[in-house]
Structure 1
Amino acid sequence: MGKGTDKMYITHSEWSNEFSEGGMTFGGAGGRKKTQIFRRLPFDCCSLSLQPFEHPVCTEDGIIFDLVNIVPYLKKFGTNPATGEKLDAKSLIKLNFFKNANDEYHCPISLRVFNENTHIVAIKPSGNVFAYEAVERLNIKAKFWKDLMTDEPFTRKDIITIQ
């Protein structure tokens, strides 16, 4: 007699191999490989031109633009190109990034070089950019609500996460 290989269910190995080579596909678009992957924009690039910035500014949401690129866009459209919300040039915050001797952006307090994994924040009143670890250790935990470079007072709401 027959062995009964026509099962009315899908086994664990068939499900687990669905996205690997030789795994079970359900036809249609599911059989195609996805070639497009999400990649985060580097922190030192303008969100409009996708090029490294010269004169960085950011919104209150932490979206960075180059001043040279965003001003003509705002004059023409008056909206944030990333979110589509209304935006005017007065609400942009000028950022002060600091560079080391190797021409790399770094935190002026901890001297940690920024990379794609660094938690980077800006202080809204001054525009200075720091590593979050430095702000957390020296401002938040110590309850010292003054900018670490300029002694300008700020609140917790003035901390803008850039990355």
Structure 2
Amino acid sequence: MKKHGVNPVTGKKLSIKELIPLKFNKDDQGNFRCPVTFKTFTPNSHIVTIRQTGNVYALEAVQELNLKAGHLKDLLTDEPFQRKDIITLQDPNNLEKFNMEQFHHVKLDLKTKSEIEAEKKAMQDPKFYIRRMNNETRETLERLEKEYVPPERMQEIPEETADELNAAHYSQGRVAAGFTSTAMDPVTHQKAAVLDAESVRYSRVTKNGYVRIVSNYGVINLELYCKQAPRACENFITHCKNGYYNNTRFHRVIRNFMASILCSLETLISLVYSMQGGDPTGTGKGGESIWGKPFKDEIIHSLSHDQRGVLSMANRGSDTNQSQL
């Protein structure tokens, strides 16, 4: 004001003589309050002052005791005033009025605006609020700044919605969990559980599949039990369609061996020899499933690998099926 002679907020002419010294009332703890209602001022309080006296009040006190009562006199000094003499100091419903970036001196003075931006950036650093610290504290904060790695934020997985295809005949159980456990959020309406896509697809498989193997010793016709072993059949049929097994060989022929595992597919096998194939590398160590990882066993007790002409998945242990058979 001494330099420019204008109101730094509005840009209108203003002198120091026109400034109004404010008179705040405090409680025993030193908090500012309304001298009439004795309510402590907070960031959500609507605060006003009277131009003639500078006394600061809560707006509700002025409204109830001055405006509604038609008694336009200061509540402490009894000095008369007009409506236009009521000045708003804080209005939680009009935050734009108190936006510093819209102040006249900030808009015109680029240096001041840059200083405000720099201060905002500095306030993001916890050390901004520390006025004094010893050397040990300073070294600790500097080391923490270099070594600290913020934790990774877990991505929220969108909740699946049940539809006519994947809706289960049972609920998600959240209503019961909400009523019986304080650790769960309360839920008052039931939602059908969502079946995974694999269960929905395989539930529609009702017929057997048929595949023909053409070898240098002739043709072998296979019947696949797709309903009983849908994963193994899908893996085998898909590999056949995409040519994965083309020009591969049965890399292992074992005399007087009969596999003891239960099977999920059917084909030709000798009573004297067992053959193993399905590995493009021909070593018995290669091959992978269409999913790029091993899939689970499908043990069907009504299908046993105990006779000629049975085809089973070959693996190296439980739930390690890939492409070999």
Class of the TM-score when normalised by the shorter of the 2 chains: 0.5 to 0.7
Offset, 1:125: 0.5
Identity over the aligned pairs, expressed in percent? 54
Query: SS at 1:139's partner residue?
Result: helix
Q: Distance in 1 between matches of 2:11 and 2:60?
A: 32
Aligned residue type for 1:99 = K
Residues 1-163 of structure 1 correspond to what in structure 2 (within 5 A)? 74-163=1-90
1 CA distance for matches of 2:11 and 2:51? 22
Runs of at least 4 residues of structure 1 off by over 6 A? none
Corresponding residue pairs, total: 90
What stretches of structure 1 of length at least 5 have no aligned partner?
Answer: 1-73
Q: Which residue of 2 aligns with 1:22?
A: none
Q: CA deviation at 1:82?
A: 2.1
Q: CA deviation at 1:78?
A: 1.1
If the length of structure 1 is used for normalisation, what is the TM-score?
Answer: 0.53
In 2, Cα distance between equivalents of 1:104 and 1:83: 30
Deviation at residue 76 of structure 1 after TM alignment: 1.6
RMSD: 0.9
Which amino acid is 1:125 matched to? Q
Aligned residue for 2:66, secondary structure, equals: helix
Matched to 1:119, the amino acid is H
Answer with 1 or 2: which has the greater Rg: 2
Deviation track 1:44-83 (CA, whole Å, cap 9, x = no partner) reads xxxxxxxxxxxxxxxxxxxxxxxxxxxxxx2222122222
Deviation at 1:84, TM superposition (A): 2.3
1:85 aligned counterpart, secondary structure:
coil
Residue 147 of structure 1: how far off its partner (Å): 0.5
SS at match of 1:115: coil
What letter corresponds to residue 78 of structure 2 in structure 1?
Answer: D
Gaps of 5+ in 2: 91-325
State the distance in 2 between where 1:82 and 1:92 align.
13
- Supply the AA of the counterpart residue of 2:49: A
Name the counterpart of 2:129. none
Q: Considering fraction of residues, name the structure with more helix.
A: 2
